[in-house]
Chain A
Amino acid sequence: MLRFILRRLLQVIPVFLGTTLLVYYMVFALPGDPIAALFGDRQPPQAVIDTLRSQYHLDEPFWVQYGLFLKNLFTFNLGNDFTGQPIAASLARVFPVTAMLAIEALAIQAIFGVAFGVFAGLRRGGWFDSTVLVASLVVIAVPTFVLGFVFQLVFGVQLGWAKPTVGATANWGTLLLPAVVLGLVSFAYVLRLTRASVSENMNADYVRTATAKGLSRPRVVMGHILRNSLIPVVTYLGANLGALMGGAIVTEGIFNVPGVGNKLYQAVLRSEGPTIVSIVSVLVLVFVVANLLVDLLYAWLDPRIRYDQ
Chain B
Amino acid sequence: MTSLDIHIDEADSTGIKPLLEIRDLAITFKTGGGDVQAVRNAHLTIMPGETVAIVGESGSGKSTTALAAIGLLPNNGRVSGGQILLNGEDIAVASERRMIELRGNSIGMVPQDPMSNLNPVWKIGQQVRETLKANGRPSGPDDVAKVLSQAGLPDAHRRAKQYPHEFSGGMRQRALISIGLSCQPRLLIADEPTSALDVTVQRQILDHLETMTKDLGTSVLLITHDLGLAAERADKVVVMYQGRVVESGPSLELLRNPQHPYTRRLVESAPSLASRRIQAAKEQGIETSDLLAPAAEPVAADHILKIQDLRKVYKLRQGMGKSSDFAAVDGVSFDVMRGTTTAIVGESGSGKSTVAKMVLQLEKPTDGKILFDGVDTSLLKARELFKFRRRVQPIFQDPYGSLDPMYNIFRTIEEPLRVHKIGDAASREKKVRELLDQVALPQSTMQRYPNELSGGQRQRIAIARALALDPEVIICDEAVSALDVLVQAQVLNLLAELQANLGLTYLFITHDLAVVRQIADHVCVMEKGKLVETGSTDSVFESPQQDYTKALLNAIPGAKLMLPPEVA
Contact = CB atoms under 8 A, between A and B. Distances in A.
> Do A and B interact directly, with beta carbons closer than 8 Å?
yes
Q: Is the interface of A mostly helix, strand, loop or mixed?
A: helix
A203 B320 CA distance: 38
Given A227-B121, A309-B317, A212 B104 contact: yes
Contacts of A228: 119-121
B10 to A, nearest CB: 31
Contact of A302 (B108, B120, B131): B120
Interface string A202-222: 011110111111111101000
A213 B130 contact: yes
Contacts of B72: 208, 211-212
Interface string B212-226: 000000000000000
B119 A224 contact: yes
Interface string B99-110: 011111100110
A209 B163 contact: no
A214 B103 CA distance: 4
Contacts of A213: 103-104, 130-131, 134-135, 179
A127 interface: no
Nearest to A231: B121
B221 to A, nearest CB: 13
B111 A208 contact: yes
A74 B319 CA distance: 30
A213 B111 CA distance: 11
A228 B116 CA distance: 13
A215 B101 CA distance: 9
Contact of B165 (A206, A211, A301, A307): A307
B489 interface: no
Contact of A215 (B74, B130, B165): B130
Contact of A206 (B117, B166, B317): B117
B143 interface: no
Contacts of A217: 96, 100
Contacts of A212: 70, 72, 103-104, 108-109, 111, 180
Contact of B121 (A214, A215, A301): A301
B27 to A, nearest CB: 16
Interface string A262-289: 0000000000000000000000000000
Interface residues of A, number: 28
A7 interface: yes
B358 interface: no
A211 B104 CA distance: 9
Contacts of B122: 223
B180 to A, nearest CB: 8
| Most chain B CB within a 10 A radius of its CB, from A301, A303, A307 | A303
Contacts of B179: 209, 213
B526 interface: no
A223 B165 contact: no
A203 B72 CA distance: 11
A3 interface: yes
A3 B319 contact: yes
A210 B96 CA distance: 15
B176 interface: yes
B113 interface: yes
A42 interface: no
Interface in B231-247: none
A304 B120 contact: yes
Interface in B87-106: 96, 100-105
B322 to A, nearest CB: 12
Interface string B178-197: 01100100000000000000
A208 B77 CA distance: 14
Contact of A205 (B105, B111, B134, B135): B111
Nearest to B109: A212
A209 B121 contact: no
B509 interface: no
B121 A302 contact: yes
B120 A303 contact: yes
Contacts of A301: 121
A206 B163 contact: no
B164 to A, nearest CB: 9
Nearest to B108: A212
Contacts of B118: 206, 209
A303 B100 contact: no
Nearest to B318: A309
Nearest to A10: B320
A158 B100 CA distance: 54
B525 to A, nearest CB: 33
A303 B131 contact: no
B127 to A, nearest CB: 8
A209 B117 contact: yes
Contacts of B104: 212-215
A204 to B, nearest CB: 7
Contacts of B111: 205, 208-209, 212
Nearest to A309: B319
Given A205-B113, A219-B134, A223-B130, A214 B120 contact: no
B109 A216 contact: no
A215 B74 CA distance: 17
A209 B176 CA distance: 9
Interface string A80-96: 00000000000000000
Contacts of A206: 116-120
Nearest to A4: B319
Interface string B118-148: 1111100000001100110000000000000
B109 A303 contact: no
Given A3-B319, A214-B100, A214-B103, A303 B117 contact: no
B186 to A, nearest CB: 13
A14 B8 CA distance: 74
B176 A304 contact: no
Nearest to A302: B121
Contacts of A307: 165-166
Interface of A: 3, 7, 203-206, 208-217, 219, 223-224, 227-228, 231, 301-304, 307, 309
11 contacts: A3-B319, A3-B320, A204-B116, A205-B117, A206-B120, A209-B111, A209-B118, A210-B119, A213-B179, A223-B130, A228-B119
A-B pairs with the 6 shortest C-beta distances?
A: A214-B104, A212-B109, A214-B103, A205-B116, A213-B131, A206-B119
Given A208-B72, A212-B103, A231-B121, 17 more contacts: A203-B74, A205-B117, A206-B120, A209-B118, A209-B179, A212-B180, A213-B103, A214-B135, A216-B100, A216-B134, A219-B134, A227-B121, A228-B120, A228-B121, A303-B120, A303-B121, A304-B163
